[in-house]
Amino acid sequence: MAKICITNEEVLQRMPNLERTLTPDQRQKVLHGIRIQTYKKHERVYSEYERAHDLLFVISGKLKIFKDGTGGKQHIIRVVLPNNFLGYRAFFAQEDYRTSAEALETAEVAHISLSMLNDMMHVNAELACFFVTELAMHLGTAHERAASLTQKHIRGRLAEALLYLRDAYGLEEDGCTLSIYLSREDMANLSNMTTSNAIRTLSAFAQERIIAIDGRKIKLINIDALERESKFG
């Protein structure tokens, strides 16, 4: 078990967009309020219908946010990488969680009390504006993705998922390998298809030299083709 070797101070510095909105006083309170927790692979960070208490910030590792649908099939909303926030939407909407989150790999997550932040927000316009921007961006991608998932065909949805993973999580040094390795099942849940079809379609893309597959490692070979597929091919 790797022990936590990052200070609250360091964590706070990793969230400059939030940090810079705080008064010295508020900064102090937040600093001391940070609690870091480690989650093992597949461990739940929070579950649908629970009460939301904390703003979460991924320090290391990756999480997925999803909704469990009919027949155990889950709909992945997004994958959260280090230095990103999650877990605050439900609280601000004054609801319980409507999604669940779990670790895709061992992950360190910072917890900050949302009721504390909420109190600060009501007297700190910049802090509130930070969340406005954050929410507005996520709402945009949510609409975008809803339209794609419902209108595109399998190849288009998978192509889009691959491009999404590239945009959101980047490539390795070689400039074409996706930095994120997902299981075929998670790829399927992200693209709204069965696992079989994710496997099949990835194989098809590989045979067409659009991508290259080595286990969970995926190289994007022909970006143009992917983009064509994505806008309905």
Partner DNA sequence: ATAATTTTGTGTTGTATAACATATTTTAGT
Partner DNA sequence: ACTAAAATATGTTATACAACACAAAATTAT
Q: Are 56 and 45 in contact (CB under 8 A)?
A: yes
- With CB under 5 to 8 Å by kind, the binding choice for 185 among a copy of itself, DNA, none is DNA
The strand pair at 100-103 and 63-68 is best described as: antiparallel
Binding mask 48-77 for DNA (x = CB under 7 A): -----------------------x------
For residue 192, what is the DSSP state? T
Q: Which stretch binds DNA (CB under 7 A): 47-55, 85-93, 94-102, 194-202?
A: 194-202
Q: Around 149, how many Cα atoms within 13 Å sit in the side-chain half-sphere?
A: 17
Torsion sign over Cα 22, 24, 29, 33: positive
Q: Output b/e per residue, 37-66; b: 16+ Cβ within 10 A.
A: ebbeeeeebbeeeeebebbbbbbbbbbbbb
25 scored as a contact of a copy of itself (CB under 8 A) = no
Q: Which stretch binds DNA (CB under 7 A): 18-26, 132-140, 141-149, 186-194?
A: 186-194
Distance CA 101, CA 22 (A): 28
- With CB under 5 to 8 Å by kind, the binding choice for 168 among a copy of itself, DNA, none is none
Query: Phi and psi (nearest 5°) for 65?
Result: -105, 130
Nearer to a copy of itself, 59 or 148 (CB): 148
138 scored as a contact of a copy of itself (CB under 8 A) = yes
Min dist CB 75 to a copy of itself, Å, is 4
- By CB under 8 A, name the binding residues for a copy of itself: 67, 69-70, 73, 75, 77, 88-95, 98-99, 121-129, 131-133, 135-140, 142-147, 149-152, 192, 231-232
Task: List residues binding DNA (CB under 7 A).
Answer: 71, 153-155, 183-185, 192-197, 199-200, 202-203, 213, 215-216
